Amino acid sequence: MARPESRFIERLTKSQVQRLEQLRDNGENKRIRQRSHAVLLSYDGTTVNELVRIFGISRNSVCFWLDRWDSEGFQGLADRSRPGAPPKLDEHEQVLALQLLEKTPQSTNTALLELQQETGKKISSDTLKRLAKRKGLIWKRMRKSLRAKRDQKNF
C-alpha cells in the first residue's frame, strides 16, 4: 500500500511544541532528538520527501515516526524494547568474572578458564571484554617496553 505524498502533523498545542523543542535540543539520545525534530518540521509544513532528505532515512521510517506520534504522543518518540538473548552470566557471575580478570589482567584465557571451572559456564574472550568495557574498565593491548635495554648516551 503506497503512502500519501504529503503527510503532516496538523495539531499541536503550545505546550507540546515547547516540549518537542526541548526534546529536540536536549533529548535523551539522538533518535529521540531526530523524531521530535521531524514532528516539529512536519507541523511547520515540511513534506515527507523533504524529511527523508533532511534525516537521510527511508520514507517508511519517517511515516512510521509520524504515525507513532499521532497514536502515542510523546511515548511514541522513544525506542521500543528490542528482543535479544538473555545475558550469559548473572550479576554475581559478572562480578566474579571481573574479579578474575583483575587478578590476571594480562591473561584473559586464565580468567576464562577459572570462570568456567567456578561457574560451569563458558564465555568468549569478546564477551569478557564487552563486560569489562561496560563496567568502566579500559581494554588495551599490553606492550613490552624496551626502555631498560636502550643505551642512554645514544638516546
Reduced 3-state DSSP string for 93-123: HHHHHHHHHHHCCCCHHHHHHHHHHHHCCCC
Give helix 48-55 / helix 59-72 axis angle, nearest 10°: 110
Measured between alpha carbons, how far is 37 from 20 in angstroms, rounded to an integer? 7
Average pLDDT taken over every residue of the chain: 87
Maximum Cα–Cα distance across the chain: 79
Q: Is the pTM of this model over 0.85?
A: no
Instruction: Check residue 145 and report its DSSP letter.
Output: -
Sequence-distant (6+) residues with CB within 8 A of 121 are 88, 89, 93, 115
- Is the separation of the CB atoms in 132 and 96 below 8 Å? no
Confidence of residue 2 (pLDDT cuts 50, 70, 90): low
Q: Would you say the C-alpha torsion 132, 133, 136, 140 has a positive or negative sign?
A: positive
Instruction: Check residue 152 and report its DSSP letter.
Output: T
pLDDT, position 154: 77
Confidence of residue 34 (pLDDT cuts 50, 70, 90): very high
Measured between alpha carbons, how far is 90 from 86 in angstroms, rounded to an integer? 9
pLDDT, position 136: 86
User: Chain-centre distance of CA 18, in angstroms?
Assistant: 26
Query: pLDDT above 70 covers what percent of the chain?
Result: 95
Measured between alpha carbons, how far is 64 from 58 in angstroms, rounded to an integer? 10
pLDDT, position 142: 64
Confidence of residue 138 (pLDDT cuts 50, 70, 90): confident
pLDDT, position 84: 85
